[in-house]
Amino acid sequence: MPAPATPSLPRDGESILALAARSMFHLFSSVSQGMFLVDRTGRIVWLNEGYKRFLPALGFSSSEDVVGHMVEDVVPNTQMRRVLETGEPILVDLLTNRAGTFVVSRIPLRDDESGELIGAIGIVLFDHPETTLQPLISKFARLQRDLDDARRELATQRRTKYTLASFVGASPAAVEVKRHARRAALSSSPVLLLGETGTGKELLAHAIHAASQRAGGPLVSVNIAAVPDTLLEAEFFGVAPGAYTGAERKGRVGKFKLADGGTLFLDEIGDMPLGLQPKLLRALQEGEIEPLGSNKVVPFDARVIAATSRDLAALVREGKFREDLYYRLNVLPVRVPPLRERRSDIPSLVEVLAEEIAARGGAAPPELAPEAMALLSAQRWRGNIRELRNVLEQAAMRTDTQRIEAAHVDAVLREAGIRDIVAPIATRPAPAGAPARALRPLAQQVGELERQAIGAALAATGGNKLATAKLLGISRAKLYERLATMPEFQSVPKNRTARSVSYPDNPSEC
């Protein structure tokens, strides 16, 4: 059944419509700051008296010099050609040229009967927008300032939070890891931070970036263990516009591109899904990525620092981590020692952590009794610095004063389910009749243990200094430094027939 025809306007209605069109045209011509018409080809065919006052600034003396010329030759930066090509109006726009800055409107003109585009009309709504539109301009300026502030805040968050000075400690283990970190900062090769959870790997990643030539660029972090496997590819490489249902219309930039010119920190790299590892390997080798849903290759320039608390070599042997990716990442390995291997740093760490806790709570830092500090220094700290911070913060909440006693620490440790709480050396009961050797200064006791260890190693290696250093897990220079303070070992004879010694794979087990 055919659709009913649209009823035509009665004769008087058409007359009213034609009159309204003429009235509107004359109204705009009289109240606007200027108006002109162009034909289908873009030639100016008419302009009103108001527009003539802009002609001298545009380089024309009269309307006769303008009519018949292409609009682009008369009005610089005009968008009238776009209106003629698309047939779509531009209702409000800012136009700036030699004549000034204007708020303009561009409207296409069509034939009433055929609907064919026959030209366009340009209207200057305001010739001094800085005064006429001051409220709107002020609001826009405020929005622009807010956007700039948000961008600066985002850039600040992507800067480094820590430097090598933030890695607290002066123990041999702490000094050694800082030395390796400084060397890594001088290179642009990938860095692999190895260590237990809570040892400060993320802090070192920030410190390496801050000491590198890329310090002025962004530091972008991705915790692989915290991102669902199905979202990791989009998180890494980005998403093309409309790649899938629900994707952002403008697309999404991936972390690799966000880190362009800076450093990309991949935390918990050992948790990366096996299926995504080839794409990561290709990105590292080629220096380019392919956003999800796109066939376009996007180059990037980012230095990669990876970290893991897992044994990557064991994962490779088990087939859970690609061997080629392992070797690509393991260019500059840095082993971050656990807290139990640098117990002498615990008092310094406690001081820094106490200040951080106090700063968050707006109070003075808590003071630790010597017995409490000794108890903290004696523990094994399987959770490392993160566990130490937690215990210290809980202990601070248990006291009504600023002083933390050993009883507070002991209560927190027991409530945490730690059964094998290690008693400080000074509080361990000595056998009946035994001298109170444990009551001597700690430095004296450590020195004696060091002498015993070096003496035993020299005896086992027949005085061979290189073999002794390997057995003790220290450098030969460090051994000579220690021997210089021990006159009893200055002239140890070298025994060529000494028995062979097997060296452990992990020097910390010595």
pLDDT of residue 390: 93
476 token code pair: 């030969």
pLDDT of residue 247: 57
452 token code pair: 């015993």
Which is it for strands 90-97 and 100-110: parallel, antiparallel or unpaired?
antiparallel
pLDDT along the chain (510 residues), means of 10: 49 66 74 88 90 88 88 90 91 84 88 86 81 68 73 58 87 92 93 94 94 90 91 89 64 89 94 93 91 86 94 94 95 93 91 88 84 88 92 88 88 80 58 51 71 77 80 81 73 45 38
Q: Tell me whether the CATH fold assigned to 14-126 matches the one assigned to 164-240+251-337.
A: no
CB-facing half-sphere around the CA of 148: CA atoms within 13 A? 6
Chain mean position to CA 372: 38
CATH 3.30.310.80, domain 340-430, yes or no: no
Are 395 and 412 in contact by the 8 Å Cβ rule? The answer is yes
Are 50 and 77 in contact by the 8 Å Cβ rule? The answer is no
Domain boundaries, the chain: 14-126, 164-240+251-337, 340-430, 440-509
Please enumerate in sequence order all residues whose Cβ is within 8 A of that of 47, keeping only pairs 6 or more positions apart, or say none: 34, 35, 36, 37, 63, 66, 67
Our CA angle for 99, 101, 107, nearest 5°, is: 100
Q: Given 3.30.450.20, 3.40.1390.10, 2.60.120.860, 3.40.50.300, which CATH number is that of 14-126?
A: 3.30.450.20
Please enumerate in sequence order all residues whose Cβ is within 8 A of that of 499, keeping only pairs 6 or more positions apart, or say none: 460
CB-facing half-sphere around the CA of 119: CA atoms within 13 A? 12
pLDDT of residue 503: 36
179 token code pair: 């030395």
CATH 3.40.50.300, domain 164-240+251-337, yes or no: yes
What distance in Å separates the CA atoms of residue 480 and residue 483, rounded to the nearest whole number? 5
DSSP 69: S
Residue labelled with tokens 């995504």: 276
pLDDT of residue 295: 82
Question: How many helices (DSSP H) and strands (DSSP E) are in the chain?
Answer: 21, 14
Determine phi and psi for 231, rounding to 5 degrees.
-105, -5
DSSP 286: H
pLDDT of residue 444: 67
What distance in Å separates the CA atoms of residue 23 and residue 157, rounded to the nearest whole number? 58
